[in-house]
Amino acid sequence: MDFSEPEHLRHLRDMLQRFVEKEMPRSAAREWDKNNHFPREIFKKLADLGVMGLTVPEEYGGAGRDILATMVVVEELSRRSLAVSVPYLMATCYAGMNIEECATPEQKKRLLPRVVDGSLIFAYGWTEPDTGADLANVKTRAERHGDVVRINGAKRFCSGAEIADYIYTLVRTGPENERYGNLSLVMVPPTTPGVSITRIEGMGMKGAATTDIAFDDVQVPFENVMGGEEGWNKGWSMIVGSGLDVEKLEVAAIAVGVAQAALDDAWLYTRERRQFGKAIGDFQSVQHKLADMKTQLHAARLMLYHSCWLANNKTRCGVETSMTKLFATEVAKNVAIESQTIFGAYGYVKDFDTERYVRDALLLPIIGGSSAIQRNNIYKWSNKNI
């Protein structure tokens, strides 16, 4: 086994770190967080680096599927601001990977080049007011009328709908008692008549604001059904498997990035902050906190990269990705709170980025399947193999 970082990933990481320092200064990240703002102009510059094509085949202008490289980008962007990293994965993963794996040839030809140039973003319209982890229980309905699909229902916690080009909407297209055999995925432009969007104000993850969505006799062309004719009533098979596996890795990559930022800031602060005549980093209790934080983060990153390798080879890795998502997000929460503890009162005020790291980290064990759901998955899927 070779655990060294490949040269192309080192170059990618160096390029991103230079980009972040130049285009995403701390002062800008604080403003984006304060105003819940998506910096589209920065997103376009990011696309110009060529990193949007890391989930898109070369025939459509991409660089070919490289999930590890994609997660390295998410990690490095998340060290500075989720206002850029979350829209990035909404483009490369929500749009790019789903289109590459599930779309018709015509849909791929039309949409994948837009992923590469940064002009296509998907928002997931999956969960509902009464449906969270149990996605097969969605109530939003879609009916086909010739070449038109009519949608009625509601979605909740649809992050990024305001900035997306399509809401990637899970709908029921048959009887409710057929839980898995009558679901479809429809690409709904948020500007379509009958679509209404209402913000839900949350603690963190600013820039891709989470929203409630209502669909009132919304009509879209049938060509917006993912997979076309073959995709109608096949939505469940499209969201299970590698799609959900990679979604867990996306959140884990955000977690690793946030935790790294929190650790870096805490480490520097312990050298600068002096109490009782010496730097607080000279106290053994603080040194032990930093040592534990660094160890936990190292383990989380190793788990993430291993799961990325499995997913990139399209190996079924539900257990590994659930373990990764569970561990990395809990590590991020712990590291962020420990960083805040080291900063003391300064870690609680908005003049210091640690306060934002805590708000962002608290969300990560919840989204993309809660820690409880991941534990269920790990036990259930592992138990089948014993």
**What does DSSP assign to residue 204?**
S
Query: How is residue 354 written in tokens?
Result: 């640690």
- In 79-164, where does DSSP find H-type helix? 82-89, 98-102, 105-116
Please name the CATH architecture into which domain 241-384 falls: Up-down Bundle (1.20)
- C-alpha span between 241 and 297 (Å, rounded): 27
The segment(s) of the chain belonging to CATH 2.40.110.10 are 124-234
Domain spanning 124-234 has what CATH number? Answer: 2.40.110.10
DSSP state letters, 21-38: HHHS-HHHHHHHHHHT--
Domain spanning 7-120 has what CATH number? Answer: 1.10.540.10
- C-alpha span between 273 and 131 (Å, rounded): 47
Q: Is residue 6 classed as helix, strand or coil in its secondary structure?
A: coil
Evaluate the CA torsion angle 178, 370, 190, 212 in order and state its sign. Answer: positive
**What does DSSP assign to residue 61?**
T
The segment(s) of the chain belonging to CATH 1.20.140.10 are 241-384
Query: How is residue 99 written in tokens?
Result: 């289109």
The segment(s) of the chain belonging to CATH 1.10.540.10 are 7-120
> Going residue by residue through the chain (386 aa), what tens digit of pLDDT does each one get?
778 888 999 999 999 999 999 999 999 999 999 999 999 999 999 999 999 999 999 999 999 999 999 999 999 999 999 999 999 999 999 999 999 999 999 999 999 999 999 999 999 999 999 888 888 899 999 999 999 999 999 999 999 999 999 999 999 998 877 888 899 999 999 999 999 999 999 999 999 999 999 999 999 999 999 999 999 999 999 987 666 788 899 999 999 999 999 999 999 999 999 999 999 999 999 999 999 999 999 999 999 999 999 998 888 889 999 999 999 999 999 999 999 999 999 999 999 999 999 999 999 999 999 999 999 999 998 987 66
Residue 240's pLDDT is 76
**CA nearest 121: which of 193, 235, 63, 208?**
208
- C-alpha span between 136 and 132 (Å, rounded): 10
**CA nearest 163: which of 268, 61, 39, 327?**
39
**CA nearest 75: which of 257, 260, 265?**
257
Amino acid at 36: N
Cβ–Cβ < 8 Å for 209, 183: no
Residue 242's pLDDT is 60
Q: How far is CA 179 from the centre of its chain?
A: 26
- Please state the φ and ψ torsions of residue 196, each to the nearest 5 degrees: -125, 140
